[in-house]
Amino acid sequence: MPAVFVIIWSTGFIVARYAMPHAPPMKFLMARYVLSVLAFCVWIFWAKVPWPQSPAQWRHLAVTGVLMHGGYLAGVWLAVRHGMGSGLTALIVGFQPVLTALWISHGGGEVSRRQWAGLWLGFAGLVLVVLRKLVESFEVTPFTLAMAVMALLSITSGTLYQKRYVMPCDVRSANCVQLMAAGLLTLPFALLEPDAVQWHPDLIGAMAWSVLGLTLGGSSLLYILIQRDAAASVSSLMYLVPPTTAIMAWFLFAEPLTPLTLLGIALTAAGVSLVVRKPT
């Protein structure tokens, strides 16, 4: 399950590359949320899946939806759309595992020395993976930096909040509630964007994968992983996303894989293995 999640989640930047020239970011995300909610509702009705039973559970799911979908995706897409390179965006958001571990330690939770070593080793590998794009595109404005940091804080706080407050329930109805909350947050910003969506074949393909692969597949797997595993271990999987994306970009767009990139991939994989390995 973790390997499948990483592969699916890594396609996010590939989707953005195909879709961004043809749609404003908030309108694209709004359409993604609407189509995903419709798909989940069909699935829920067909499978007779129960909805969350208590108002408190609905509220907690709504909060995680606003953070993990609305805030995270909006931050990433707006940062890249307004000029921040994908390498720098990935590097800032990639600090999530360390930030999560710091929060856990501050709250009295235990992060072992081995896990700390793995977190910093993984981050060092992440720097090497995105170094080429970091050098090629280092355009930072107060707005793009704020959006990238918003994405980092949103995905980190959303992961911790879900782990603490969301009670186990069916992943399909839980994801549907989260997406409805994210859509309500996104709607007014989408209406303010002046540009129209151009339904180019690249955009249609990107939208289809965003709904079926990233949302119904990737988001559901992330929800399950957070419910089952420790927050630090789940967050460390995010380190593997940029390296996997780099491999995909090499295959799809002939982007070079330099020796530094390959070294970064190896370091990242080693770091994650230290974090997720069960103590003996």
Most confident of 9-13, 46-50, 101-105, 237-241: 46-50
Residue 133 has pLDDT above 60, yes or no: yes
Q: What is the pLDDT of residues 172-231, one digit of tens each?
A: 999 999 999 999 999 999 999 998 889 999 999 999 999 999 988 888 888 888 777 655
**Distance of alpha carbon 200 from alpha carbon 183, whole angstroms:** 23
Q: What residue ranges do the domains of the chain occupy?
A: 2-46+54-276
144 neighbors 82 (Cβ within 8 angstroms): yes
Mean residue pLDDT across the chain: 85
Q: How confident is the model at residue 43 (pLDDT cuts 50, 70, 90)?
A: very high
What's the pLDDT at 167? Answer: 84
Mean pLDDT of the 123-131 span: 81
Q: What is the pLDDT of residues 8-36, one digit of tens each?
A: 888 887 888 888 889 999 999 999 999 99
**Distance of alpha carbon 54 from alpha carbon 56, whole angstroms:** 5
Q: How confident is the model at residue 71 (pLDDT cuts 50, 70, 90)?
A: very high
Query: What are the tokens at 85?
Result: 């390179």
Mean pLDDT of the 255-277 span: 81
Where on the phi/psi map is residue 50: left (φ > 0), alpha (ψ -120 to 50), or beta?
A: beta
What's the pLDDT at 74? Answer: 94
What's the pLDDT at 189? Answer: 95
Query: When comparing pLDDT for 75 and 101, which is higher?
Result: 75
Q: How confident is the model at residue 42 (pLDDT cuts 50, 70, 90)?
A: very high
In angstroms, the first-to-last Cα distance of the chain is 22
Q: How many residues does the chain have?
A: 280
The percentage of residues in the chain with a pLDDT greater than 90, rounded to a whole number, is 36
DSSP of 36-49, one letter per residue? Answer: HHHHHHHHHHHHTP
Q: Measuring CA to CA, which residue among 129, 169, 162 is closest to residue 49?
A: 169
User: Angle at which helices 142-165 and 220-228 pack, to 10 degrees?
Assistant: 50
**DSSP state for residue 168 in the 8-state scheme:** P
275 neighbors 131 (Cβ within 8 angstroms): no
What's the pLDDT at 134? Answer: 67
